[in-house]
Amino acid sequence: MRRPGPGQGGVVRGVLFDMDGTLTRASLDFDAIRAEMGISEGTILEYLEAAPEEERRRGFSILERHEEEAARTSELNPGVTEALAGLAARAIKTALITRNSRRSTDATCAMHGMSFDAAVTRDEAAPKPSAEPLLLGAGLLGIPPVELLIVGDHRYDLEAGREAGVRSVLFLTDASRRFLPLADYSVERLAEVVDLVDRLNGPGCCVAHSARRGR
């Protein structure tokens, strides 16, 4: 699926990835976290940011405990390793852009041996759907937003992409399908991200890849 937006369509030199539900199977039980915090509905981070200091502190400690547990028990979605290897082979840079804490993000990456050229967590920037973490990621990669893709499974990834001028790719799952109208592209499997990059960059664009293969 393709729905190019205004000013979009440059070559792709970098890919930003959401973590929970995209690279890893969604393992955070938001209903359980909300129940423990005594919140009935809504998004947890936004609620905590607006809460009084004491409640905020207590809430973040509950959230962080759940995130650390989720990091310990997390599993990668199929195709992550192939996607990251395929992008690396094409000299496409990658960054992780997550609403998680730095601590649980680093633990998840270490556990699965994943590495990225940059990672932006909620400890460094306002969380998605703000454009801020994407723009920070773009700066860290040294790549303009128009030459990036963001791959994610939530409306927030797509909205943040639109706001930052980064083309969005929805990772399709039963739960994420409803966000399809907001996405520029979609993939059923993560390995398809590499095919999408090849398609967008066109023939002759993946010089690094061809040269590497020819050696």
Residue 18 near Mg ion by CB under 5 A: yes
Residue 154 near Mg ion by CB under 5 A: yes
Rounded to whole angstroms, the Cα distance separating 201 from 15 reads 13
| Tally of CA atoms within 13 A in the half-sphere of 212 that contains its CB | 11
> Measuring CA to CA, which residue among 128, 190, 121, 193 is closest to residue 159?
128
Q: From residue 96 to residue 125, what is the string marking binding to Mg ion with x (rule CB under 5 A)?
A: ------------------------------
Nearer to Mg ion, 141 or 158 (CB): 158
Q: Which residue is nearest to Mg ion (CB)?
A: 21
Residue 132 near Mg ion by CB under 5 A: no
Residue 20 near Mg ion by CB under 5 A: yes
- Residue 129: cis peptide before it, omega within 30 degrees of 0: yes
Residue 67 near Mg ion by CB under 5 A: no
Rounded to whole angstroms, the Cα distance separating 131 from 135 reads 6
Q: Calculate the CA dihedral of residues 153, 32, 56, 129 and round it to 10 degrees.
A: 10
> Measuring CA to CA, which residue among 98, 104, 96 is closest to residue 68?
104
- Beta carbon of residue 178, minimum distance to Mg ion (angstroms, whole number): 14
The stretch near Mg ion (CB under 5 A) out of 10-18, 84-92, 129-137, 161-169 is 10-18
**Tokens standing for residue 1:** 């699926």
- Beta carbon of residue 150, minimum distance to Mg ion (angstroms, whole number): 11
# of chain residues touching Mg ion (CB under 5 A): 5
The stretch near Mg ion (CB under 5 A) out of 13-21, 55-63, 114-122, 182-190 is 13-21
How far does Cα 196 stand from its chain's mean position?
16
Contact residues for Mg ion, defined by CB under 5 A = 18, 20-21, 153-154
